[in-house]
Structure 1
């Protein structure tokens, strides 16, 4: 069975291609990118983003106060405090003269210690005014919001500007003059230098100084070193390649050293892709507020399910960045990615991928091997049968698998190859000429005794009412169309097909895009989506070499999710693989698959506008939390006489709140983290709620994030 191009060993030298350059263009500050501070926060926090801000509920309430209202209230209290302080100075001096007549006489004689002490006597009065009117005017909040940032800005205005740091995702920073200070920076090639001879890294050091080495180059060379460190022969080949070709050594089979138009949401050093900013709202835990949430292979390894209607940003704000991150990691030799979606799905340009399978497109460079997801014939036939049957015919899946297995095995034995689409259609329908040719071929091969029982059983089913072969033939005929000629396994007499890509080739750092003709041939696209996803899941879970992270991105998984796929997704956690599945609504799935799918994935993401019945499953999967519920009974304070009412009215004007009596009752209650109504109606546009789980079991609680 045809497979993908062979994987290039780590020590193989690929000469630099024309146009290949470091990340972000011809100039990239690799030293600055490596030495940029990355904070270690909770699981899922973006290392290059802001650190979490630990805010309590009172701080959140303070931040919600409008600026104009805060400044007006503070100014009004300041004016009243000044007027009262000025009015009380006369009575205060009169009181001091009565209590301390000798001190007043000394101050009148211009005694310096008496004058100083007289001013110090004003300090308690001034502190009392600041405490009273500062609390009502919320001067402390005004200082935190406006005064402290202004003071910090004024203090840094006269300081020299620090050298520009590289932008996230490897964007180049402006060139800075070199000097002796650069010699004190950490050695970005220290792992290589520890095993290399003097002078081996001369070309690499020169390219680094000239800013011609990108983040992809560094991570690729270090990944190659980790693969050959314990093999002296391959280690010598690697060091020789670095000596001769510098940063272009051990290149990706495509020769690419970066992606065109990459976003700044990538950090290859930590293998993270930024999802969005965690909002400072009470529903978000305090240890995540203000930080950026990111996805990495450890979190994607438990798979992620995203649900949201069209137009909410599932593809452009989630699928494309994740596919981009996996493509970058594939260029470093640490991942393999398969992106499945409609032709017009925004999963990145075609030059991001090494293999583009686009059935029905005359410009496609590859076809799809219908049996490419398994190494055994029975498994390959079973995967094809599962893909051909629609969801409503899943009850006949076992008979369909057996029918295909009774044909594929004998056909391969008789002719030494796998059957083509047209040959399968004829054999499943029981056409006499095709069936007779199969029997003759099996007999000539000498394997008739081994397959006699299966062939006889399949022949008895021809033409019966419950024959699954007829159903399979009708479904398979959707792929036997002139527009798909040459894209699938050929039959005898067919012209030479395109190179067929087999999805079992997941031990190569390949970037694969499966573009489906969703608009022109919707039912054929559903079959191909189930086939591609099923082959990937089976190959990823059963592969022997799991050194590469195998990532799957499915733009619309409504046609690809079945009971077999759900069972296989659960096995990806221990296979260094993961999937990103996106759905418009859970109604697209059979009801018996919805809850098992939520249980199979470790990450769940809800976008605005989902239906309440969709939000119910999210709410149930995220569970409940114990919270302190306060029942507050407020009533206007009408007690006291005229004087007390006057002061109470003045306080209402200054504090902005009416005086009330309160009765507070506190109790612990169990509440949903996010209710179905919150997800369906309260979640604002441009936001999402996401929970993640690492392969080691560490959980990221449901967080409301603002999408980029």
Structure 2
């Protein structure tokens, strides 16, 4: 058993799991025939890993010792509110306890002590009469109280005095809040480090794999426990084997095959198809047990709810399933503080068999080394091993036309009312359908451009081939396209201009459909694949935006069409400028039910069309405003975050006018001592509705390296906007 079926989708697929991108010159390199020319979207399997699954690279981080791994595994992870870093979390009260200032606390304690001392002095010296002796006379016989035995008298009376002193001390202690002084200032000085906790019972120790023992897989549990004690198991191994065990419990794999694989390979069982068991290096802090990555620390600020103050901020698939939008200027930390940690977490999730991730960004944007990914598509780079499937790996002309039209003209709302996505889809389908019927593949970029331009040669050759093959239905499609050529409002001219941006010498060897390259398509989201796509933003900005829209459209279509949705699929788009379209906004909310999500970043909301900003913010579940935001962007965030009821305190100082000579003298002395005129303070408390974060606060009140983030998970639970230190 190699993967127990947990890392391979059920059913038959035309796109096997891509293996790690090999060096230039390896099998499957560009220009080397590696597949059938007649099968559109087929993928050639790259070379097998050069090392056996489960082995460790020379440059990989050393394995942790057994004690470190066991400590990590046994650390409690209590349930918490959305966004709370659960690893070792200690829940806090929902409401902030009222804390008395130190000066007021000590002053009250001293006054209470003096009052108690005064009361005892009055009792001891008899200034309050003898009534306080009545309880002693009522409950004890006279023979015990008034006796010649001095020892007996001393025991009775001094015991009674001690009782009275204790009653007085308890009373004044409660009034003076001595217990709070003890908790805040004295007890911490005597607190000793907590002794190491004893190992949990075998039935409760996660390192003993009790769930396997209960199911009868004793040998597998013993092998895993031994590897954990010996330091041979990583957090990724634990997460991966746990995922495989869940597939066994769900009935997708057999218990005997799982046990046999674990007994044979130990912590290396059920390995990822690439053979990797960890990333070469980690830039962020991850907890594979909860699938969270720590992005920072929630600031201890009055604007944050008390339960969140000072806690770590953790993001996982339960939050990314509602998608994440981060807005901030260049240099605010979007890529280094948000995009790359999230992408790294998803890559670890893919190695654990729980996620599939596609990271799209400009070349050199800092999205991790190539060794962290199985597939690296470097569009426009001659040494790129992998190509990009322009049609998303589909054989349906209508589906291919819809996705391609969204990428080419999805952003054109004005001033091209005739080039909307629906009409453009029809135009492309009128050409892709006949071409696919004849050639059993879709046209390349130069061929599609020639057909859109209405060049007589390609159209005539396509018509002749259709007539010879008797494709009457496709001939009608081609006739309809030829009738529209040159007419006012024909979207074909706009589509041809857009496709011409991809028909450049730098992309001459890309987007090949003849089977002479190794294309990658997002149909591979059925597998735990790690993909990075580098866009040629330098010198080809418009082409990069088209390709980014293409990746977004293909991802949304592929994620919804997956057979196995147990894997969390995520598209991380480092710069979403020009990719937000009406259709993408409509499809964003549908990703939640498909166990998928997207991560988008923008320098400003002006990079999205004005009519789409409010729908975009409404369809995204997690919204982040980084420092340096403009007031106009802050206004949009303030509107979507809404208002809340707060308690407002209005303080009014009224000057006191003295009317008597003595009062005037006292006021004069007070003014000389304090420098202020005597005033009387009036406090008015009322409930008012106020914006959670105003546009001015978002623009000018967020420190550098910080962000304001609101969260919503896939179950509908949400967290209000939180001020977060991304450097913590």
Deviation per residue, 1:28-83 (Å, 9 max, x gap): 54332221111222233221154243375675x86xx8xxxx68x9999999999x
- After superposition, the Cα gap between the structure-2 partners of 1:520 and 1:115, relative to the gap in structure 1 and judged at 3 Å, is same
1:380 aligns with 2:400: yes
Secondary structure of 1:363's counterpart equals coil
Q: 1:126 to 1:305 in 2, by over 3 A?
A: same
* Alpha-carbon distance, 1:281 to partner: 2.6
Q: State yes or no: 1:19 paired with 2:56.
A: yes
The residue number in structure 2 matching 1:46 is 85
1:701 and 2:698 equivalent? Answer: no
CA distance, structure 2, for counterparts of residue 549 and residue 594 of structure 1: 27
Matched, 1:336 2:356: yes
Please state if 1:149 is matched with 2:167: no
Q: Superposed, which structure 2 residues align to 1:277-676 within 5 Å?
A: 277-372=297-392, 374=394, 376-389=396-409, 390-391=411-412, 392=414, 395=417, 396-397=419-420, 398-447=422-471, 449-490=472-513, 497-635=516-654, 660-676=679-695
| TM-score, length basis structure 2 | 0.79
Separation in 2 of the partners of 1:120 and 1:93? 16
Distance 1:40 1:18, change over 3 A: closer
- Deviation, structure 1 residue 636: 5.4
* Contact 2:638 2:691 (C-alpha < 8 Å) held by counterparts: yes
The two structures have a TM-score, normalised by structure 1, of: 0.81
Report the CA distance between 1:394 and its aligned residue: 6.0
Matched residue of 1:294: which SS? strand
CA–CA distance in 2 between the matches of 1:660 and 1:528? 69
The aligned residue for residue 245 of structure 1 is 265
Superposed CA RMSD: 4.2
2:71 aligned residue: 32
Q: Confirm or deny: 8 A CA contact 1:23 1:257 kept in the other structure.
A: no
Matched residue of 2:522: which SS? coil
Mapped contact 1:335–1:509 kept (Cα < 8 A) = yes
Query: In structure 2, how many angstroms separate the alpha carbons of the residues matched to 1:123 and 1:650?
Result: 41
Aligned to 2:583, the other structure's residue is in SS state: helix
2:280 maps to what in 1?
260
Alpha-carbon separation, structure 1, partners of 2:241 and 2:401: 40
Contact 1:608/1:679, CA 8 A, preserved across alignment: yes
Q: CA deviation at 1:206?
A: 3.1
Q: Return the alpha-carbon distance in structure 1 between the equivalents of residues 626 and 447 of structure 2.
A: 45
Structure 2 CA distance, aligned partners of 1:297 and 1:663? 51
Question: What is the rounded CA distance, in whole Å, between the counterparts of 1:94 and 1:187 in structure 2?
Answer: 65
Cα shift at 1:333: 0.9
Residue by residue over 1:478-534, the C-alpha shift from the partner in whole angstroms, topping out at 9 and shown as x without a partner, is 21222223221246xxxx753110112211110111111212311111111010111
Counterparts of 1:607 and 1:472, CA distance in 2: 36
Q: Look up the SS of the partner of 1:227 in the other structure.
A: helix
Alpha-carbon displacement from aligned partner over 1:226-260 (angstroms, at most 9, x marks no partner):
22346597433222222221121221011110112
Counterparts in 2 of 1:379 and 1:645: CA distance versus 1, 3 Å:
farther
SS in structure 2 of the partner of residue 311 of structure 1: coil
Question: How far is 1:686 from its partner?
Answer: 2.3
Instruction: Report if the CA contact (8 A) 1:278-1:293 is conserved.
Output: yes
Q: Does 1:6 align with 2:17?
A: yes
The CA distance in 2 between the partners of 1:465 and 1:409, in whole Å, is: 24
Contact 2:501 2:543 in 1 (8 A): yes
Q: Which residue of 1 aligns with 2:241?
A: 221
C-alpha displacement of 1:26: 4.9
Alpha carbons of structure 1 residues 50 and 184: separation in structure 2 relative to 1, 3 Å: closer
Structure 2 counterparts to residues 66-105 of structure 1, below 5 A:
96=125
User: Counterparts of 1:658 and 1:265 in 2: how far apart (Å)?
Assistant: 56
Secondary structure, counterpart of 2:301 in structure 1 = coil
Mapped to 1, the partners of 2:427 and 2:607 lie a distance apart of: 28
Rate the CA distance shift 1:652–1:404 in 2: closer, same or farther, 3 A. Answer: farther
Report deviation, 1:96.
3.8
**Are the structure 2 counterparts of residues 97 and 239 from structure 1 closer, same or farther at C-alpha, using a change threshold of 3 Å?**
closer
Q: Distance in 1 between matches of 2:714 and 2:201?
A: 42
Flag the 1:557–1:145 CA change in 2: closer, same or farther, 3 A.
Answer: farther
With over 3 angstroms needed to count, the CA separation of the structure-2 counterparts of 1:698 and 1:231, relative to structure 1, is: closer
Residue of 205, 209, 219 corresponding to 2:229: 209
What whole-Å deviation, never above 9, does each CA across 1:296-322 have from its counterpart, x for those lacking one? 222211112111112221111111111
- Deviations along 1:568-603, one digit per CA (max 9) or x if unpaired, are 111111111111111111111111110111111112
| C-alpha deviation, 1:688, in angstroms | 1.6
Cα gap change, 1:129 to 1:647, in 2 (>3 Å): farther
* Structure 1 residues 649 and 207, CA gap change in structure 2 (3 angstroms): farther
User: Contact (CA 8 Å) 2:298, 2:724: kept in 1 or not?
Assistant: yes
The answer to whether the 8 A contact 2:353-2:528 is kept is yes
Where does the alignment leave 5 or more consecutive residues of structure 1 unmatched?
Answer: 102-108, 164-178
TM-aligned CA distance change 1:282 to 1:644, over 3 Å: farther
